[in-house]
C-alpha cells in the first residue's frame, strides 16, 4: 500500500504557542488530503479537507483561523494549530486517497499535548 508520513509524531507545547504538523505522501501524489482529530477512546472526526492549490474545506464547528491548513505541494499538507490551548490536546491524523480510487491511507498520527 501507499505510505503517508507525519511529523512530528509527538509534540508538547505551552498554551498560547502554535504547532505545525506535516503530512507527506511518500510514494504517490495527493491533490487532496484529509485531517482528522481523535480523542482518547473515540472515533476519528474529520476536521478539514486539504486541497492542493486552493483553500481547505472545513467541517462544521472547526475554526479555520485556529487550524490553518496549507497544501503546499502534491505530496505535502500542513496543519498549524494556532494559539494552542489544553483542549486542543488530541491525536491528529492525516490521510490521503490513492489516485482516483477510494482507498485512503493514513499517517501514523501526531500526539499533541498542550500544557
CA angle, 38 as apex, 43 and 108 as ends, to 5°?
A: 105
SS3 74: coil
Instruction: Figure out which of the listed residues 19, 71, 90, 107 binds other proteins, where binding follows CB under 8 A.
Output: 107
Q: Which residues of 27-55 are buried (b: 16+ CB within 10 A; e: fewer)?
A: ebebebbbbbbeeeeeeeeebbbbebeee
Residue 43: CB minimum distance to other proteins, A = 5
> For the window 1-20, what string marks contact with other proteins as x by the rule CB under 8 A?
x--x-x--------------
Residue 93, interface with other proteins (CB under 8 A)?
yes
Residue 6: CB minimum distance to other proteins, A = 8
Residue 97, interface with other proteins (CB under 8 A)?
yes
The stretch near other proteins (CB under 8 A) out of 14-22, 63-71, 74-82, 99-107 is: 99-107
CA pair distance 94, 37, nearest whole angstrom: 9
Residue 111: CB minimum distance to other proteins, A = 7
Amino acid at each position: 500500500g501507499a505510505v503517508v508520513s507525519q511529523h512530528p509524531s509527538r509534540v508538547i507545547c505551552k498554551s498560547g504557542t502554535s504547532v505545525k504538523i506535516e503530512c507527506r505522501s511518500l510514494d504517490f501524489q495527493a491533490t487532496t488530503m484529509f485531517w482528522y482529530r481523535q480523542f482518547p477512546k473515540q472515533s476519528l472526526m474529520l476536521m478539514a479537507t486539504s486541497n492542493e492549490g486552493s483553500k481547505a474545506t472545513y467541517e462544521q464547528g472547526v475554526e479555520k483561523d485556529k487550524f490553518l491548513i496549507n497544501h503546499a505541494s502534491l505530496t505535502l499538507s500542513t496543519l498549524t494549530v494556532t494559539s494552542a490551548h489544553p483542549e486542543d490536546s488530541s491525536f491528529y491524523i492525516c490521510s490521503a486517497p490513492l489516485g482516483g480510487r477510494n482507498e485512503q491511507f493514513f499517517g501514523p498520527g501526531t500526539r499533541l499535548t498542550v500544557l
